[in-house]
Amino acid sequence: MKSLIIYAAIILGTVFLTYLAFHSKKKNMTYVFSTAAILFPSIFAALRYNIGTDYQIHQQVFNEIAQGVPISKRAEIGYVFLNKAVILLGGNYNCLLFLVSVISISCIFYTIYYFRNTINTSIAMLAYMLLYYQMSYNFIRQLLAASIAVLAMVLFMQNRRILSVVICCIAATFHITALIYIPVILLYTFFTEDKYKVPRLFVFAVLTVLVFAYPILLMPLLEQIQEWIPQLRYFINYLAVEYKALGIGLFRYILLFIVPGFLFYGKMEKKVRFCFNTAVLGFIMWLTSYVTKMEFYRISYNYLLLLVVLIGYFWEHADVVLDAVKVPKAISRLPFYEYRGLALKVGLLFLLFFFWYYDYFHLGAHETVPYMSILGGG
């Protein structure tokens, strides 16, 4: 219960500061609240002790770099450089955790700022905090890389295309999987234009079929490639076949963005549609978790991080979009029908909090409970 209260306070405090940042009438206060919204959760991320499944692994890497001995665990060059920079400035492992969190949340905050005219900014931040904040305690490098890659996507939308690709490559120096953003942003037109709607659906359908046919069709080929190029063994190991039963996690994405997405699709702006189609691609990749080793599904979070934008969009446009949905007259005459927009918003909130509690507290995902601090206790 204590950890639940701590995390709830971090989440709601960050959302409140985000609300103040986007609703302040004074420009200087906007900067103050924006900075606070980034620093507040980052301080708790920095003060944590031995929580997050990979906490000790990353601590070991930091200590090995500090001691100048060979690194025993795999780490990309950008992440190693970040460690060295913190060490050079006299910082410790907790300083590194603080810096990683500041960079990650800053990228998400800027993304929310970019979409501020078409999404509910507070709900978008709430979605990030509930779905991904505690995950970032474990997937340190990947969530850092994914956040930077999302920033690269925003830069591409701003027509800063060369910089976008450069930033995406920088993201890959923290976790190589960020490179999967490059083909997506370069195919921006394919993911947004109506004339490509049928080809998009075809591609998504083929990819979905390949996911479940993969153990038969693709795994033998990958095993052969592994024999030819042993250096790829680390990556191919992520793809090893391992069947799992369908679980409640499947409904997380179906209910949070697949179903609302199809209701809203015709009204979406191009930039939001790009986020939706990219997230659908991420969902298809996430489905591989049912036929491969658990590790491979992590790659999908590079795309699924865009749920932050989508959930904020669904909330902001619930009434307008649902008004355009045609329903039988008998349903439209029901007394509760006029509250359908409110019902969707309540449903989104319920699902966000339910899956937050289910994942992190009931299942113990990413081992972030109980919250423990270097200041002592939980």
At 291 the pLDDT is: 65
Q: How many CA atoms lie within 13 A of 178 on its CB side?
A: 28
- Summarize pLDDT for 176-190 with one digit per residue, the tens: 888 888 888 888 888
At 351 the pLDDT is: 94
pLDDT at 163 over 80: yes
- Summarize pLDDT for 6-42 with one digit per residue, the tens: 999 999 999 999 999 999 988 889 999 999 999 999 9
Amino acid (one-letter) located at 243: Y
For residues 302 and 137, give the distance between their C-alpha atoms in angstroms, rounded to a whole number. 16
Arithmetic mean of pLDDT, 96-119? 97
At 237 the pLDDT is: 59
For residues 42 and 101, give the distance between their C-alpha atoms in angstroms, rounded to a whole number. 5
Domain ranges of the chain: 2-367
At 348 the pLDDT is: 92
For residues 215 and 368, give the distance between their C-alpha atoms in angstroms, rounded to a whole number. 33
Element (H, E) at 291: none
At 327 the pLDDT is: 59
- Residues 300 and 282: beta-carbon distance below 8 Å: yes
With a CB cutoff of 8 Å and minimum separation 6, the contacts of 37 are: 14, 17, 18, 20, 21, 105, 109, 125
**pTM exceeds cut of 0.85:** yes
Q: What is the mean pLDDT of the chain?
A: 86
For residues 238 and 266, give the distance between their C-alpha atoms in angstroms, rounded to a whole number. 37
Q: Residue with structure tokens 């206790």?
A: 377
At 194 the pLDDT is: 76
- Residues 240 and 293: beta-carbon distance below 8 Å: yes
- Summarize pLDDT for 268-325 with one digit per residue, the tens: 889 999 999 999 988 888 887 766 655 566 788 889 999 999 999 999 988 766 665 5
For residues 307 and 318, give the distance between their C-alpha atoms in angstroms, rounded to a whole number. 16
Q: Which residues pair with 373 in a beta bridge?
A: 48
With a CB cutoff of 8 Å and minimum separation 6, the contacts of 361 are: 3, 4, 369
- Summarize pLDDT for 244-275 with one digit per residue, the tens: 545 677 788 888 888 888 888 888 889 999 99
For residues 183 and 185, give the distance between their C-alpha atoms in angstroms, rounded to a whole number. 6
